Amino acid sequence: MEHKNNQLNTFWQLTQDDALHLLDTTVTGLSSSHAIERLEQYGANTLKKASKFNNLVLLLSQFKSPVTLLLIAAALLSAGLGDMADTLIIIGIVLVSSILGFWQERGAAGAVNELLKMVQLHCTVLRNGKKTELEVTGVVPGDVICLSAGDIVPADCLIIESEALFVDEASFTGETYPVEKNPGIERANTPLARRNNCLFMGSSVVSGIGKALIVQTGRNTEFGKISNDLLLKAPETDFERGIRKFGYMLMEITLLLVLVIFAINVLLHKLVLDSFLFSLALAVGLTPQLLPAIITVNLSSGARRMAKQKVIVKRLSAIENFGSMNILCSDKTGTITEGKVNLKDTLDFRGEHNDKVFTYAWLNARSQQGFVNPIDVAICSAGIGQKHVEPFSVITEIPYDFIRKRLTVQLKSQAANLAITKGALSVILDICSRVEVSESVIEDIGDRKQAILDLYHKLSDLGLRTLGVAYKEVADDQVFTRDNENNMVFLGFVTLFDPPRAGMLQTIETLQNLGIKLKIITGDNAPVALNLAQQIGFQSVRILTGQQMRNMSNSALRHSAPLTDIFAEVEPSQKERIISILKKAGNVVGFMGDGINDAPALHTADVGISVNSAVDVAKEAADIVLLNQDLNVLINGVTEGRKTFTNTMKYIFMATSANFGNMFSMAGASLFLPFLPLLPKQILLTNLLTDFPEMTISSDKVDDINVKTPQRWDLRFIQRFMIVFGLLSSVFDYLTFAVLIFVLHANEKVFQTGWFTESVISAILIVLVVRTRLSFMKSLPGKYLSLVTTGIMCLVLAIPFSPFAAMFGFITLSWKYYVLMMGTVIAYILSAELAKQWFYKRIAK
């Protein structure tokens, strides 16, 4: 067994027969029963380690906060000193808070995993001798897979068959250009970049077709070995960066406040343990403990709502960028247009209808075995009923690739042996030296080339996509290769059209109203793109061609790109450059693509958007996958993304207003009171109760003003908000202190009960004010937020009268306090409403 494994570890030196023998399989693949046995033996084809303790790890992660750990340690120290009641209460509150966070995150993670199953990658596997579509996680060593352009290689394989198979291995070798792969044997010490008989997990097929034998899966692949040392992580989004900086800011404030308060309380000869516990409880009060859970719940709830709009979010943090997006770059086919290419006509070099051009184009389209594309589908659909199928057999195929931009097939019949080429007109003309002027009459192309180009431009001006068709007679014993693509005969044109989607004018207007500018990036020529733009209502269109971009410096393009509406005649490599330039100009850029050559641009964009029918390599690179290739679906997703971002920020605003104000007030009060304003367990209970309403934020209503414009993370805005509303909160806190001390002459327990009651009620009610930029009465909260807020308020009012009051150190209060507290809370709410209007008019600008 060990010898067998050693041989498989260097499988590139094996012959095809040896590899098949070692893996106990055949060129027709495994049976279903054998595949099931091997799946149990080798495990799923994934880089993620299976874990039986995911829930336990998630639960334990709720206690990873240093403050929480310190609090538990201090509570245990208190137990050692004999104060078991306080110990149990503090630990109980920490447990409830942590379990709450665990329950929320577990539910969110489960929901997201269910959504991701909708966009799983698949591959074509030979099972029981037949082609079968299978999730890539289900392939096993010994499987035989069929590959074509656009596929992602699911595991490490040995090539069995190939036809012009070119693969992108840049992630392994750094090689920019695709590598041609062929069956064969390599030496044992051949470096990875030179193993031309192998395919590796994570690489992608650029062109051609092939079959390969899977040898290594999962973490045993080359990609798996890399991930053992370097786990690939997606770039940090603006939202994630903002949350991290916000966390650092709170940590700095908390650490400073805790150290100062602890030191002063000790200097004032208060009990060291009580002072320490009070300081830690203050830290807990300042720290939005549920922030990770709240963010996860908000984003996953947003992902579920977006799924109902047929938008699947693969990466939750991308929702923020989705809501921030102000430029959307998109190909035209299938997005701006119907995506159903229709054959318009087939013409000879003079522009007259010609049946032979159609026949040759149809033979070329229906004979190719590579990546299925809309043009070939349109030609084949128009040719149903043709009677030219039987006499011809396919000898060879030179698949389409993005360098040659053409497809050639060699067909043989009893009467002829022909190579037929179809592709972009300019590259077809480059390989033609002759032209067919009438049936069987061929002349030198000579001066006619210019007339052909003029006709091509005329057809393009009419909005027609125009291809060229050429052919060449081949000797009976010759197999046509790409080196033979020369001295061909130009036969004529194939014209196609793809009408704009119905309602596209309204869709683009809606995008503009949402603050999103649409830019079209297409490989079609400028006249075709211009014609489409005019059809969908673009005014004063600015077009930039690929040729013009090649002659522009990055600084010049940075100036021109934001002002450009259409990028035409764009080469695949230029898409990524356009996206990068637009990002450097300060925009949040989305890119919508579904092709093989779109993957780099999808990865570079702030929001990579693809569709479920896209090729694997595009779908894998995307952050968001649309189940329906329609910009209206995208608009719905943008709206939901902005709602999700807004609801997440509501929790941030709460944490930086009521929490900060209350904790700052308690810290200050502890300096002049002969007792602690709240006991540690009371602070923790306050923090727990104020967190409950915020858990319903994800279902809260969102104002139209937050949906109409792109949303961006702004730490300076949050800091200003914290200062203004934190200070306002403290003003009314100290007013409450004055009422308790000078009006009610409160002792320790009365003060703590009264302050606890007012603190929690004011904190949960102020959320209803700061959750919206509008007046509270013009933007009422959602049903669940209203219900939970009311429930918590009733609970807080009932606690001093409950059997648990003594446990927490509370006593009943006189009706006079409740009247005064009501007046204070109402004044606070009204003042906050006025402060909010002033803040958004003056400070927030």
* 382-399 tens-digit pLDDT: 875 555 555 788 899 888
Lowest mean pLDDT among 147-156, 348-357, 484-493, 647-656: 647-656
Tokens 């062929």 correspond to 182
pLDDT tier for residue 480 given thresholds of 50, 70 and 90: very high
Is the pLDDT at 381 greater than 60, yes or no? yes
DSSP 500: B
The torsion region of residue 372 among left (phi > 0), alpha (psi -120 to 50) and beta comes to beta
What is the spatial distance between Cα 485 and Cα 423, in angstroms, rounded to a whole number?
A: 12
Query: Is 632 in contact with 507 (CB distance < 8 Å)?
Result: yes
Report helix, strand or coil for 667.
helix
Average pLDDT over every residue of 704-726: 83
Mention every residue, 6+ apart, whose C-beta is less than 8 A from residue 233: none
What is the spatial distance between Cα 159 and Cα 198, in angstroms, rounded to a whole number?
A: 6
Mention every residue, 6+ apart, whose C-beta is less than 8 A from residue 252: none
Report helix, strand or coil for 133.
strand
Name the nearest CA neighbour of 462 among 377, 509, 383, 524: 524
pLDDT above 90 as % of the chain: 24
Query: Is 317 in contact with 698 (CB distance < 8 Å)?
Result: no
Q: What tokens were used for 821?
A: 């507290």
Is the pLDDT at 447 greater than 80, yes or no? yes
Tokens 């030219």 correspond to 388
pLDDT tier for residue 290 given thresholds of 50, 70 and 90: low
What is the spatial distance between Cα 41 and Cα 36, in angstroms, rounded to a whole number?
A: 9
Average pLDDT over every residue of 402-421: 87
Length of the chain (residues): 845
What CATH number matches the domain at 2-33+120-229, 2.30.30.40, 2.70.150.10, 1.10.460.10, 1.50.10.10? Answer: 2.70.150.10
Which residues belong to CATH 2.70.150.10 in the chain?
2-33+120-229
Cα separations in angstroms, 836 against 299, 304, 660? 26, 32, 17
What pLDDT score does 527 carry? 85
What pLDDT score does 54 carry? 61
Q: What is the pLDDT of residues 790-810, one digit of tens each?
A: 999 999 999 999 988 988 889
Name the nearest CA neighbour of 748 among 825, 823, 811: 811
Mean pLDDT of the chain: 81
Catalytic residue among 168, 331, 565, 598: 331
| 254 vs 314, higher pLDDT | 314
| 151 vs 170, higher pLDDT | 151
What is the spatial distance between Cα 810 and Cα 833, in angstroms, rounded to a whole number?
A: 31
Query: Is 336 in contact with 508 (CB distance < 8 Å)?
Result: no
Q: What is the pLDDT of residues 167-176, one digit of tens each?
A: 887 666 655 5
Which residues belong to CATH 3.40.50.1000 in the chain?
311-338+501-627
pLDDT tier for residue 230 given thresholds of 50, 70 and 90: very low
What pLDDT score does 51 carry? 45
Query: Would you identify the CATH topology of the domain 311-338+501-627?
Result: Rossmann fold (3.40.50)
What is the spatial distance between Cα 674 and Cα 669, in angstroms, rounded to a whole number?
A: 9
Is the pLDDT at 268 greater than 80, yes or no? no
What pLDDT score does 231 carry? 42
Q: What angle do CA 692, 685, 246 make, to 5 degrees?
A: 65
Name the nearest CA neighbour of 789 among 650, 609, 585: 650
Class of the CATH-defined domain 62-108+236-304+638-843: mainly alpha
Query: Would you identify the CATH topology of the domain 342-497?
Result: Calcium-transporting ATPase, cytoplasmic domain N (3.40.1110)
pLDDT tier for residue 692 given thresholds of 50, 70 and 90: confident
pLDDT tier for residue 9 given thresholds of 50, 70 and 90: confident
Query: Is 138 in contact with 45 (CB distance < 8 Å)?
Result: yes
Query: Is 533 in contact with 566 (CB distance < 8 Å)?
Result: yes
Q: What is the CA radius of gyration of the chain?
A: 34
CA diameter of the chain: 114
Is the pLDDT at 83 greater than 60, yes or no? no
pLDDT tier for residue 3 given thresholds of 50, 70 and 90: low
Q: Is 376 a catalytic residue?
A: no
Give the global pTM. 0.69
What pLDDT score does 435 carry? 95
Is the pLDDT at 400 greater than 90, yes or no? no
Tokens 């080798």 correspond to 42
Lowest mean pLDDT among 106-115, 305-314, 463-472, 784-793: 106-115
| 647 vs 118, higher pLDDT | 647
Is the pLDDT at 160 greater than 60, yes or no? yes
Lowest mean pLDDT among 13-22, 40-49, 197-206, 487-496: 40-49
What is the spatial distance between Cα 298 and Cα 702, in angstroms, rounded to a whole number?
A: 13
Q: What angle do CA 151, 156, 162 make, to 5 degrees?
A: 55
What is the spatial distance between Cα 487 and Cα 597, in angstroms, rounded to a whole number?
A: 29
What pLDDT score does 798 carry? 93
Average pLDDT over every residue of 233-256: 68
Which residues belong to CATH 1.20.1110.10 in the chain?
62-108+236-304+638-843
What pLDDT score does 823 carry? 92
